Amino acid sequence: MSNSRSYAEFFVPESEAASAARARAADLGCTPVGAGAATALTFLAAAVTARTAVEIGTGAGVSGLALFAGMAEDGILTSIDIEAENQRAAKQAFTEGGIAPGRARLINGRALEVLPRLTDAAYDLVLVDAAKNEYDQYVDEAIRLLRVGGILAIDNALWHDKVADPTQRDADTVVLREVGRTVREDERLVPVMIPLGDGLLAAVKKGL
């Protein structure tokens, strides 16, 4: 990582609660958003004064804490994960971060079974950060869930620097490359690739 990239990645210091959540994630074997991507999520949530957000992939609560830091004080985060152990860790992280229990709606289950039950155009922000081979389907659901002016955020969009390398053809890389192309070409979206963490692809949903 170059000096400038490292400077940008850690430009905003991480909270103690987030650092503790990151350590628990390592113990659980799940990979949370990078420090820079977490900062970007806080910024994006604040930019739209998010009151309703969805994250696909709870992890150990690192991304949830980042979203809460930018959301409105009464904002509600719906967080979906197939691993109950990850959600227990996230609940601990939210408690340590001073998040009121009623603000986190943790749903244990497979995202593609849970997402269709959520309301159309009812959310200010949707974060995609779960099974890479299902990203394309998550994105379809996320666009449906977002209100006009809402933000789609997709973690791992650069995927260990492999997405930008056309010689990399493993299944996850191919899916992520295709998702990037789909988001870039969707006339409903205004996209930007943020080279923080493992790459955060963000897009604003516009009215047509």
Does domain 3-205 fall under CATH 3.40.50.150? My reply is yes
**pLDDT tens string 114-150:** 999 999 999 999 999 999 999 999 999 999 999 999 9
Domain positions in the chain: 3-205
- Six token digits for residue 133: 């081979």
| CB atoms closer than 10 angstroms to residue 128 | 26
Question: pTM for the complete prediction?
Answer: 0.97
pLDDT at 207: 77
d(CA 98, CA 87) in angstroms, rounded, equals 16
H or E, element range at 205? strand 200-205
DSSP 51: S
pLDDT at 2: 82
Q: Are 59 and 79 in contact (CB under 8 A)?
A: no
**pLDDT tens string 8-62:** 999 999 999 999 999 999 999 999 999 999 999 999 999 999 999 999 999 999 9
Give the pLDDT mean for 165-176: 97
d(CA 192, CA 100) in angstroms, rounded, equals 32
% of the chain surpassing 90 pLDDT? 98
CA distances (Å), origin 36, targets 96, 111, 124: 21, 25, 21
Of the candidates 201, 159, 160, the one whose C-alpha atom is nearest the C-alpha of residue 183 is 201
**pLDDT tens string 15-26:** 999 999 999 999
**pLDDT tens string 172-191:** 999 999 999 999 999 999 99
